[in-house]
Amino acid sequence: MGRLDDRVIIVTGGAAGIGRAFAGGFVREGAKVVLADINGEQAERSAAELRAEGGEAMALTVDVSDQAQTEMMASETIAGFGKVDGLVNNAAIAIRVKHTRAPLEEIPLDEFDRMLAVNLKGVFLCCRAVLPAMKERGYGKIVNISSGTFFNGRENLVHYVASKGGVIAFTRVLARETGDAGVRVNSIAPGLTASETEEHDIEEFAARVPNRAIKRIEMPEDLVGAGIFFMSAESDFISGQTLVVDGGVAVH
């Protein structure tokens, strides 16, 4: 028996990196997963890998900043698996998407808009798409992926950090709005994670290690346990919370 037997969970940005790690962990615990990603070909390859391992997985091409595509994501999941139990809002403009790292006055306005459209509006749209089905059944688990940068005010990334801070605020409000409907909404804030990195990125990751209580580079697999916990019955009395998984940089 797995901790997520018979659960149907959508993972946005699930084709690779942290999202792919979540999907693999969920499948190993008995869940059926939907990998929703703007890179549909990679999502299908990852879904095929999970099926080859004996899991149930489907892939969808989804731009989370587009309302029609997020609604399609919800309807196709229900058509394929009959319900939606969980949603992990992981899709984001982050390490594997090129963006400006510079002071505020040097960040292009269109890049700021796109960052919030994906990282914050995308969370809003995906939640809106799945909530009617969750409320109808009186059950749902939503996990929004924020970032440890919110807690330390990482410089030269004001648009990224603002979007991820918005995710935490959104999580708190939605938890209150949906608690009576049986939906639990929480957030995970990763530290800098070695996800789909190039060789030259490793120096940056290594430079962060001395700031951690656990002195090693963070990997996508380090986040999977938190995701399983929030998707399982073990967290049924927890909502509106943010769990920082950064090896002990931000301590509370």
Rounded Cα gap, residues 138 and 155, in angstroms: 42
Lowest mean pLDDT among 64-78, 144-158, 167-181, 232-246: 144-158
Q: Sign of the C-alpha dihedral, residues 22, 24, 29, 35?
A: positive
Rounded Cα gap, residues 90 and 145, in angstroms: 5
Beta-carbon contacts of residue 86 (< 8 Å; ≥ 6 apart)? 7, 8, 9, 10, 26, 31, 140, 141, 142, 143, 231
pLDDT in tens, 186-230: 999 998 888 765 555 677 777 778 888 898 888 999 999 999 999
- 100, pLDDT greater than 70: no
Phi and psi for 186 in degrees, rounded to 5?
Answer: -135, 175
- For the 8-243 domain, the top CATH level (class) is alpha beta
* Residues tagged active-site: 160
Q: State the burial class of residue 138 (Cβ atoms within 10 Å of its Cβ: 0-12, 13-18, 19+).
A: exposed
Provide the whole-model pTM.
Answer: 0.94
Mean pLDDT of 84-108: 80
Q: Sign of the C-alpha dihedral, residues 136, 231, 118, 174?
A: positive
pLDDT in tens, 26-45: 999 999 999 999 999 999 99
Rounded Cα gap, residues 227 and 24, in angstroms: 11
Q: State the burial class of residue 216 (Cβ atoms within 10 Å of its Cβ: 0-12, 13-18, 19+).
A: exposed
pLDDT in tens, 144-187: 999 988 888 766 678 899 999 999 999 999 999 999 999 999 99
Percentage of residues in the chain having pLDDT higher than 90 = 73
Phi and psi for 88 in degrees, rounded to 5?
Answer: -110, 110
Q: Sign of the C-alpha dihedral, residues 105, 107, 113, 116?
A: negative
Domain ranges of the chain: 8-243
183-190 and 242-245 strand pairing: parallel
Rounded Cα gap, residues 131 and 27, in angstroms: 22
Rounded Cα gap, residues 33 and 54, in angstroms: 12
Rounded Cα gap, residues 4 and 8, in angstroms: 9
- Write down the pLDDT at residue 60: 98
